[in-house]
Amino acid sequence: MVLMMAVNIAFGQDPTKGRVIDGKSKEGIPGVSIRIKNTSVGTTSDYNGNFQLSQKTPLTIIISSVGYQTKEVSLTASSSNIELTESTQDLDQVVVVGYGTQRKVDVTGSTASVKGEELVKQVVMTPTQAIQGKVAGVQIISSGRPGSSPDVRIRGVGTALAGTATLFVVDGVLTDDITNINTADITNVDILKDASSTAIYGSRGANGVVIITTKRGASSKLTVNYNGTMGIRQAANLVKMANATEYANYVSAASGQLERAGDISTDWYGTILRTGIVQQHALSISGGSEKIKNFLSLGYLNEDGIVINNNFKRFTARLNNDYIVNKVLKFGLTNAFSNSLDRNVNLGTAYNNAYRAAPLIESKVNGLYGNTSLYQNVGNPILDIENSNDLSTINRLQSSLNVDLTILDNLSFRSSIGGDLIYNNNRVYNAKFLNDNSTFIQAGGNQRNPNSNLKTAQTTSFRWVWDNILTYQTNIKDHSFKIMVGSTAEHYAMNYFTAFRQNVPAAENLWYIGTGNANTSTNDGFGDEWARNSYIGRLNYNFKDTYLFTSTLRADGSSRFPTQNRWGYFPSFGAAWVISNESFMKDLTVIESLKLKASWGRVGNDRIASDSYITTVDPNLAYAFGGGTATPGSAITQLKDKNIKWETTEELDFGLEFSLLKGKLQGEIGYYDKKSKDLLINVKVPSVVGDKDGVILTNAASIQNTGLEIAMTYRNRLSNDLSYKIGGNVTLNQNKVIGLNGGQPILDGGIGAAQQFTTKTDNNQPVGSFYVLQVLGVFQNDGEVSAYQNSKGQVIQPSASAGDFRYQDINDDGKIDDNDRVFVGSYQPKAYFGLNLGLTYKAFDLSVDAYGNVGNVIYNGKKAFRQGLLDNIEASMAYSRWSRGSGINNEPAANAGNLPASTYFVESGDFIRINNITLSYAIPTKILDKIKANNTRVFVSAQNIFTFQKYTGFTPELTGDPTRAGIELNAYPTMKSISVGLNIGF
Amino acid sequence: MNSAMKRNIFAILFIISLGWQSCTSDFLDVPLQGKSTAETDPDLAQNLVIGVYNSLMTGEAFGAEGDIHGIAFVSATNIMSDDAEKGSTPSDQQGTVGVLDDFSLTPTNLFVQSLWAGHYNGIAKVNNALVIIEKSTLDDATKKKLIAEIRFIRGYYYFNLVRWFGGVPKILRVPNDANDANSDPVFQTRASVDEIYQVIIDDMSFGINNLPLRNIAGSGRISKGTAQAMLSKVYLYRKDYQKAYDLSLEVINSGQYDLLPNYETIWRQAGDNSREAIFEIQTGQFNNSDYGINTYSMFQGPRVGGKGGWTDLGWGFCTPSQSLVNAYEAGDVRKNATIIFIDNSGKYTGTRLFDGFRIPSSDSVQNLRYNYKAYHSENKNVESFLGNRDRKQKNVHLLRFAEALLINAEAANELAKPDLAIQNLNRVRTRANLAGRATASKEKIREYIWHERHVELAMEHDRFFDLVRTGQAATVMKNNQRNYMVGKHEFLPIPALQIALSGGKLTQNTGY
């Protein structure tokens, strides 16, 4: 696609002013970077594309912006409009790298960038959600829970037990949680994928880094922007449970006793799920003078969960200011305040109970609850949710102040100090109710709460980070160098306090600890504190824009490791060859650009608890000598590894970037080989050593991820009114454990009473692979049971009867036990992909995105949890179950659950989802001019509206710990939503 | 100020800021917040001793921490014996508890693993405490007394282990780290039964030699009497009747202990730490809540069933068997003190318990009999109860004076002192409102005593061990239609997980 770009410059007086506009639409382009050549002095354009520079003409400036060709323009007093007609290449974007920026063309590692305006088109709470399916190598696994942010897995699972959270860097402040950021405030999201890119973040780079840059003001007249959306959402996919008749027939068949269905048939999921309403509003004011630039924004988000009572509200305010004192000295201030109200529901209990509760029981009639526990020892899920009120109020202030000194034209210094203060105040009130006729339709059962109670918990944390960065750049003929050195220090402190009392009155205005019975009060508290100190350096070398080299080094010191392992060193090297800039390529007009790159880097993962290497004493192990009040005692219950260190990942990365057919076809092919070693795992030790949990956390495992990423976009303009874009990306990843170094395999994923574990993380298998019995079929008659023998003629399942599963006796020992389990795959997909379509016709713009994965398996934990005769069943089981003479071989006879872990519960995780359809209409300028508005757009957007999945549960997209993430037990269902929105600027 | 000067100042500022970070090397020496270590607790030695006592309450049968006197203990003692059946609904906990009841258990049984882990975690607490006490600045007398108390508990844990598993790893020290734990054969191989008994005898003898006759009356602290009585029982298992006799006689003649006049009072809160108590697990309150063994009472409480409509008292496990009912002679007051009988007369009169609580009749109750000795009242006017049904303040009676009398009687009989045997036996029978036994042959008296142990100590976690010790197990279990196999079911299987973790060096018991 050929885009026109124009720079209109207004001159005559000091300072230099200008406006950057899109060559085609003639509209101003916001957020364009304008930099005076060979210096780090620059500015960005405002919403209308206006900018001003304090320097006088003549000047040579470099103008760059995401999606546009970077342009060098010489400004002289006599210059007026400069028309530019260059084709666009993504390679010319400016991207944010750690502690600085680079032209994308100079980047030797693997990064990806998403513009803020892409993010606000979708109704998503966190920006990472909007990236789903857009970037190769990045898997976004969303949870539908309001107030939660999705799991981001970059290039496979590279850890087992340490934190998997991606590091976020918000305007230079490092954090694990970005749920406080108003999406409308974001200019750019940059994702650093490979180790050579993230090595500048050293011991925290192992899970990838996402850098978020928020908007800043420009020196121009004031502009006002409003951005609002409103929508509805529902569960994307529901599991149909048996109705009363189907249930009664199944239970009768399983027990041999007649169970009759009455008039009642409750759809329990229907009673706790709903259609939720979501709205968000963002208002921003931007502008300033050449000395002071301001960006002020206010945001409001209100998300209803699709489970009753579940809601998330967030109010945000941001004030980003820049103060330009003179050519040498500049200050920047960033302030983001957020206030969130998170009304949580205990999904674990309610969801599980909704699956198990019998449809024969009433849900709730005239304020009285159906008594499921009287019938089957399962709580009424509506009551589970309604009798508990869990609200977290989170106030968060994230601020930073930076000082920029331009010591020489090519030497600059930045000192930046940032703080992140979080107050989280949680209160959970559980109302009193008895198992009598005032609560239930029928009295009895064991669901009751004889004493109301209130628990409050306050967490206060403060983190500060101080960076000092010196940047020097110079050109010696065709050799260009950029050198950055710096130091950073970081400190974190957290304080937790909780209190509890019973017999707190039911009125919400009395939900304070003081109103409860003091004789029941308990409290607890703990804290955490750690510090990091690091030194960083980076060298960029560029020869004629053809040969590029980057090297970084970070030395990281962390208080969380014993003195002898305190410091770690994280180097990286990267090189690129821009083949298309070679003279021999000039004649090949079909190739516009071609860049080959290779890099290597080492990064770490230090997300472990502060006491991991220190032997601690457990307090409050009391004994009541002679009865009455017990005397507190203590015990040493844990064996610790005194030599613990961080996990280390080394990654080799190759990439080929290309742009063909005058930029119509752009793409990138990448290969990576990522080895993570010294991974922290819990090594099981014999119970005789007396470790309370039977495991010792130590560095023992190694994991390898190898993969191939391909991303391509084809853009074409058919006429002045019609253009389209087709983009796609696919990532093939292979994950395997390559060493346990004496550690035992990790068994995890226990479900219910009958399945103590379902996954095994072992050599040569992907992390969290399912390890279960192999179902061979169903015994069709008793003869088959006695005929099922091992090689020695022993009957393998003597206690089985017709209709039971036949399991494979792998070791031929004549019995079925844990030694007969086999590996049957992992939740990690062999491939995942995204497809992005765009169509622009006049003022209409349509985008359609799809996302999916193949080659993984999911464990149907809900089905596996079924542990009693009276637990409900999925409707499909009512019809597909085995009966004598049916010949059915994949579903057992009606049974009481408690089945062992087997391939019966393992299902394909393949799916494809249309995760976004957005149609927008830009209101024509002539209408807008009448109301003095500009940049105005209305849109309608649908998320996750179609899903094609093989899995029979709610969702194959599952978040969780690496060793057990593929089990669907209490996952918040993925949601589909439809929303309408408006962007308007003045 | 010219620009060069300015730049110099900036350069200096920059160097200072870099320097600040590098000079403060102790910036990274952040003390661990909120968790004490061995160095930061001045009273560590005494606290660790209390921590060892606390381990007597361990009851995490489903968790890694394991079980010492929780529901796995109840299952592998009472339920595994002919005293009781699994109870509850037929399928409830069949895989964990039911297989212990009907002897179909395998080495992967979770409760067996829990008992193994729980006891060794308790032993490790003793071993850790021993190191700290030795290093502490306490005076020697205090040190010895503290060591004696916790070594008794270690000996008791080994006594349970050797009775359940036979020879087990003999762990008398704390491993340095994971490598030590995974390499020193001590942590992987089984010692012989004799070696384990020697540990028990050494630990308990140390207690006898270093503890006061009665350690703070009514406190439940281990005393010389506790160690003497328990060691006399150990000697019964070793068939060293002289030592069993001598030690139990010292207890009887110490003047510290006696029978309570009323048998059922022993299991009321009023009977806690009475003069009959020799070794009793203490309960009370802590952190404004009930502080008892996790779900000990709840597990065995009467359970709703049938048409329901009442708030039940528990999960209905460990139900007294018909054979236990039959074992009582007519007029024995111990029957109704041991068993809650659910009204099954068809008259719907229900069952009124000592605290006035009325259990409905059998149409609303899951099982026909429950363990009265595990019952604790929820009526705050009758017994202490702060509302935590899982941690009821129910003391567990592990050894009491009546058993000391029966140990002495059994040893006396074996040492050909029938009169002494009958005298002790009849003291127990008289309290039970039964006529005394007349003297008889040695074999007959032995039978009398074993029978008396059965009914006197029913549901007190002794019966299974006693059946194996006395060689009655095969006959009794056969009469109770259990799948008991001689040569196999005398012992539990060694947990499969532990064998795997030892690299196969830990050997399995016969038959599993």
Instruction: Provide the pLDDT for residue B101.
Output: 94
The verdict on a CB contact (< 8 Å) between B51 and A621 is: yes
- pLDDT tens string B144-167: 999 999 999 999 999 999 999 999
Distance from CA of A97 to the nearest CA of B (A): 22
Residue-wise pLDDT for B202-245, tens only, equals 999 999 999 998 766 678 999 999 999 999 999 999 999 999 99
Q: How much is the pLDDT for A149? A: 78
Q: Are strands A329-344 and A311-324 parallel, antiparallel or unpaired?
A: antiparallel
Quick one: pLDDT band at residue B54, thresholds 50, 70, 90? very high
Q: Which of A533, A624, A817 sits opposite B108 (nearest CB)?
A: A817
Q: Does A624 contact B308 at a Cβ distance shorter than 8 Å?
A: no
Q: What is the token pair recorded at A114?
A: 């998403």
Whether the bond into A900 is cis, omega within 30 of 0: no
**pLDDT value at position A84?**
46
Contact between B18 and A595 under an 8 Å Cβ cutoff? The reply is: no
pLDDT of residue B88: 93
pLDDT digits (tens, 9 = 90+) for B290-306: 999 999 999 999 998 88
Cross-chain residue pair A626–B386, CB shorter than 8 Å: no
The candidate with the shortest Cα–Cα distance to A180, out of A434, A420, A452, is A420
Rounded Cα distance between A966 and A141, Å, is 12
Compute the nearest-CA separation of A175 from chain B (Å): 19
Q: Do A529 and B386 make contact, defined as CB atoms within 8 angstroms?
A: no
Compare all CA atoms of chain A with the CA of B175 and give the residue at the minimum distance.
A689
Give dist(CA B226, CA B145) in Å, integer: 14
Non-local (6+) Cβ contacts of A685 within 8 A are: A639, A691, A694, A695, A696, B178, B181, B182, B501
Nearest CB neighbour to A639, from listed B32, B171, B178 = B178
Amino acid letter, A200:
I
Tell me the pTM: 0.85
Cβ pair A328:B308 closer than 8 A: no
Regions in chain A scoring below 50 on pLDDT: 1-13, 78-91
A687: nearest CB among B3, B117, B175: B117
Name the one residue in this structure whose structure tokens are 């069949």: B94
Q: Where are the domains of chain B?
A: 43-146+168-188+484-512, 297-377
**Closest CA–CA distance from residue A502 to any residue of chain B (Å):** 10
Chain A residue closest in CA terms to B16: A468
Q: Describe the crossing of helices B401-414 and B442-456 by its angle, rounded to 10 degrees.
A: 170
Peptide bond into A15 cis (omega under 30): yes
Q: Would you state the torsion angle of the CA atoms of residues A734, A902, A352, A130, taken in this order, to the nearest 10 degrees?
A: 20
Q: A471 to chain B: which residues are within 8 Å by CB?
A: none
By three-state DSSP, how is residue A97 classified? strand
**Angle A383-A384-A389 (CA atoms, 0-180°, nearest 5)?**
100
Determine the longest span between alpha carbons in chain A, in angstroms: 102
Chain B: nearest CA to A408, how far in angstroms?
8
Q: So what's the pLDDT on residue A8?
A: 40
Rg value, chain A, Cα: 31
- How far off is chain B from A204, nearest CA to CA, in Å? 17
B91, B289, B500 ranked by CB distance to A896: nearest: B91
The partner residues of A278 in beta bridges, in order of sequence, read A231, A303
CATH number for the domain running over B43-146+168-188+484-512: 1.25.40.390
Q: Residue A458: CA atoms inside 13 Å, Cβ hemisphere, count?
A: 9
User: pLDDT tens for residues B235-267?
Assistant: 999 999 999 999 999 999 999 999 999 999 999
Average model confidence (pLDDT) across chain B = 92
What was the pLDDT predicted at A1? Answer: 30
Q: Quote the pLDDT of residue A163.
A: 67
User: Span A5-88: which CATH code?
Assistant: 2.60.40
HSE of A76, CA atoms in CB hemisphere, 13 A = 2
B132: confidence class by pLDDT, cuts 50, 70, 90: very high
Tell me, yes or no, if A468 comes closer than 8 A to chain B by beta carbon. yes
Q: Do A686 and B181 touch (CB under 8 A)?
A: yes
Taking contacts as CB-CB distances below 8 angstroms, the residues of chain A near B51 are 618, 621, 633-635
Burial group, residue B400, by CB count within 10 angstroms (0-12, 13-18, 19+): buried
Residues 572-591 of A with CB under 8 A from B: none
Does the beta carbon of A475 lie under 8 angstroms from any beta carbon of chain B?
Answer: no
Residues 6+ apart with CB under 8 A from A74: A58, A59, A60
Say which residues have a Cβ less than 8 Å from residue A616's Cβ, sequence separation at least 6: A636, A638, B32, B35, B36, B37
Cα dihedral A583/A589/A591/A594 (nearest 10)? 20
Classify A14 as helix, strand or coil: coil
Q: What are phi and psi of B200, to 5 degrees?
A: -65, -45
Residue A630 and residue B284: Cβ atoms within 8 Å? yes
Angle (deg, nearest 10), helices B224-237 and B193-210: 160
Q: Cα separation of B356 and A833, whole Å?
A: 69
Helix (H) or strand (E) holding B59: strand B59-60
CA distance A36 to chain B (A): 21
Out of B66, B169, B283, the one facing A627 most closely (by C-beta) is B283
Give me the pLDDT at residue A2, please.
Answer: 33
Contact check, Cβ <8 Å, B28/A533: yes
Q: Which residues of chain B have a CB within 8 Å of the CB of A898?
A: 91, 95
- Give the amino acid at A130: A
Point out the residue among B182, B188, B220 whose CB comes nearest to the CB of A626: B220
The pLDDT assigned to B324 comes to 97
Higher pLDDT, A23 or B503: B503
Residue among B44, B64, B273 minimizing CB distance to A627: B273
Q: DSSP letters of A760-804?
A: EE-BTS-TTEEEEBPEEEE--SHHHHHH-B-TT--BS-TT--TTS
Identify which of B232, B214, B236 has the alpha carbon closest to the alpha carbon of residue B223.
B214
Instruction: Write down the domain spans for chain A.
Output: 5-88
What is the Cα–Cα distance from A81 to A8, expressed in whole angstroms? Answer: 5
Token duo for residue B155: 């000996």
Angstrom CA distances, A43 to A55, A203, A216, A323, A607, stand at 11, 33, 10, 12, 37
With tokens 């060694």, the residue in question is B494
Among candidates B51, B282, B495 on the partner chain, residue whose Cβ is nearest the Cβ of A627: B282
Closest-CA residue in chain A for B110?
Answer: A756
The whole-angstrom separation of Cα A868 and Cα A7 is 73
The string of DSSP codes covering A902-941 is BGGGEEE--EEEEEEEEEEEEPPHHHHHHTT-EEEEEEEE
Among A515, A526, A382, A386, which Cα is nearest to A457's? A526
**pLDDT tier at B417, thresholds 50, 70, 90:** very high
Residues A383 and A371: their CA atoms lie apart, in Å, by: 10
Contacts of A493 in chain B (CB under 8 A): 33
d(CA A787, CA A267): 42
- The reported pLDDT for the residue numbered A48 is 67
Query: Which chain A residues in 384-413 lie under 8 Å from chain B, judged by CB atoms?
Result: 405, 407-408, 413
Other Cβ atoms closer than 10 A to B391: 23
- Range list of β-strands (E), A163-249: 167-170, 173-175, 186-192, 209-214, 223-235
- CB-CB under 8 Å, A530 with B288: no
User: Given CB atoms, is A798 within the 8 Å cutoff of chain B?
Assistant: no
Residue of B nearest to A532 (CA): B28
